[in-house]
Amino acid sequence: MGKIKVNEIEKHDATEVTVNSDVVMAAGTSVSSPSISTDTISEKTSASGVTVDGVLIKDGAIAGSFISGLTTGKVLQVIEATSSTLQDTTSTSYIDITNITLDITPSATNSKIFVLYTDMNRTTRTNDVSAGSITLQILRDSTQIAQRHMSMYNSAGGNGSNTIATSTAMSKLDSPSTTSQITYKVQMKAAVNTTISSQYSNETASLLVMEIAGW
């Protein structure tokens, strides 16, 4: 096979220099100056993607493991706990919502933990003097990080015994400042003369946590 050795290739006129599709550069060959400009780089082997400087680009996406330069705001891990079994209580003290608890071990002390709880809740009050309310809280271990109090009725009187159901969402961007395992869970409590429910009509309740690289 013949070779052409030159120090520079320069276009002859206003048109661009064309390299035919059957021209192959030897392994390890690079072009440092000038650079190569192109509109499209296509994979040679189907479904293999294209690797540029060690970064794999495949099917229009770059895997998160290759984004080493992104040091903050990156999702490091995601954990979810779900349940769809109706749970009723008349307790006026906090009780755990069954199965809506999970453990996570942050990878760095400056990580943030985004916590999201969703549920279908119901309250049933037995008389006009009951507020018919439900109170929810999210705990990190034994520390309350979020609370929501929902009064389902107007001020006491006028409505008698009644039942109201509503979808609920609570979220918190937490800063646990630890690399030890921590536990997140959700608790609920009722007003007097009130029955409250989680996972009403067997709708799915979810507790989802995401570790976010800190800043």
Taking only the tens place, the pLDDT of each residue in 8-18 is 667 667 676 66
Residue 136 resides in a domain: yes
Tens of pLDDT, residue by residue over 150-159, are 876 655 455 5
Q: Which is nearest to 184 in space by CA: 116, 93, 89?
A: 116
With CA atoms as reference, report the closest residue to 75 among 101, 103, 113, 102. Answer: 113
The Cα 169–Cα 165 span in angstroms is 13
* Residue 28 within any structural domain of the chain: no
Structure tokens at 64: 């998160």
CA 204 to chain centre: 18
Question: What pLDDT, on a 0 to 100 scale, did the predictor assign at position 52?
Answer: 80
The reply to whether 190 falls in a domain is yes
Q: Residue 183: give its domain's CATH number.
A: 2.60.120.760
Say if 123 falls within a structural domain: yes
Summarised one tens digit per residue, pLDDT across range 36-86 is 667 777 888 888 888 887 778 877 777 666 666 666 788 999 999 999 999
CA–CA separation, 215 vs 71, rounded Å?
8
Q: Does residue 175 belong to any structural domain of this protein?
A: yes
Longest dimension (CA), the chain: 99
98 versus 20: the higher-pLDDT residue is 98
Q: Is 18 a domain residue?
A: no
**Torsion sign (Cα): 63, 67, 72, 76:** positive
| 49 in any annotated domain | no
**Domain presence at residue 61:** no
Report d(CA 94, CA 68) in Å as an integer.
43
Domain that residue 149 falls in: 75-212
In a 10 Å sphere around its CB, with 0-12 CB exposed, 13-18 middle and 19+ buried, how is residue 191 labelled? buried
Q: Please tell me the predicted confidence (pLDDT) of residue 161.
A: 73
Query: Higher-confidence residue: 129 or 144?
Result: 144
Output the pLDDT for position 168. 96
In three-state secondary structure terms, 131 is coil
In this model, does residue 22 exceed pLDDT 70?
Answer: no
Please give the pLDDT value at position 47.
81
| Average pLDDT of the segment spanning 108-118 | 96
Q: What is the DSSP letter of 53?
A: T
How many domains in the chain? 1
Q: How far apart are CA 169 and CA 146, in angstroms?
A: 11
